[in-house]
C-alpha cells in the first residue's frame, strides 16, 4: 500500500498573484472574480495522486472564503481543507520521523508571484527552479 502525501500550500504569492487587503476588497463581493494561476501551478495540481491530501493556508480573512473557494474550484483543484486567517509571518511544519535518515517534513519555498516554475517535489529529492 502506497501512502498518500499531505501538502500544505499557501495561496497568495504562491499559487495566485499576491493580493493586498485593498486589492481583495476591490474585488469583493464580485461573484465572477477568478484569479489566474501562476506559472507551473496547474501542472503541479494535475500531478497530485488520488490519495494525496491538499490543505490550503492563507492570511485572508473569512470574509474572502467564497471568493477564494471560487478560484480553487474554477481550476478544478482537488483540495481537502482551507485554513483562513493565519498570521502573515513564518510558518512551521512539525512532524515526527521514524529515523534520522527519513525526512517526513519537507519544505519548499517559492519566490512570491513567480509560481512553481519547474518545481519538482514528488520524490524524496526535489529541486526548485522558478520562472
Residue 56: give its domain's CATH number: 3.40.50
Half-sphere exposure of 11 (CA within 13 A, CB side): 27
122 secondary structure, DSSP code: S
At 33-82, the pLDDT tens digits run 999 999 999 989 988 999 999 999 999 999 999 999 999 999 999 999 99
Q: What percent of the chain has pLDDT over 90?
A: 69
pLDDT (average), residues 24-41? 95
pTM over 0.75: yes
Q: Which residue range forms the structural domain that includes residue 74? A: 1-131
Quick one: pLDDT at residue 109?
85
The total of structural domains in the chain comes to 1
Amino acid at each position: 500500500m502506497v501512502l498518500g502525501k499531505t501538502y500544505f500550500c499557501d495561496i497568495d504569492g504562491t499559487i495566485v498573484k499576491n493580493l493586498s487587503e485593498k486589492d481583495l476588497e476591490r474585488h469583493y463581493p464580485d461573484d465572477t472574480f477568478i484569479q489566474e494561476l501562476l506559472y507551473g501551478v496547474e501542472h503541479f495540481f494535475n500531478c497530485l495522486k488520488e490519495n494525496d491530501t491538499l490543505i490550503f493556508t492563507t492570511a485572508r480573512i473569512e470574509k474572502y472564503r467564497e471568493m477564494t473557494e471560487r478560484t480553487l474550484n474554477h481550476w478544478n483543484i482537488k483540495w481537502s481543507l482551507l485554513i483562513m486567517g493565519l498570521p502573515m509571518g513564518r510558518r512551521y511544519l512539525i512532524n515526527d520521523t521514524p529515523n534520522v535518515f527519513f525526512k517526513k517534513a519537507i519544505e519548499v519555498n517559492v519566490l512570491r508571484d513567480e509560481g512553481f516554475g519547474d518545481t519538482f517535489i514528488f520524490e524524496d529529492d526535489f529541486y526548485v527552479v522558478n520562472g
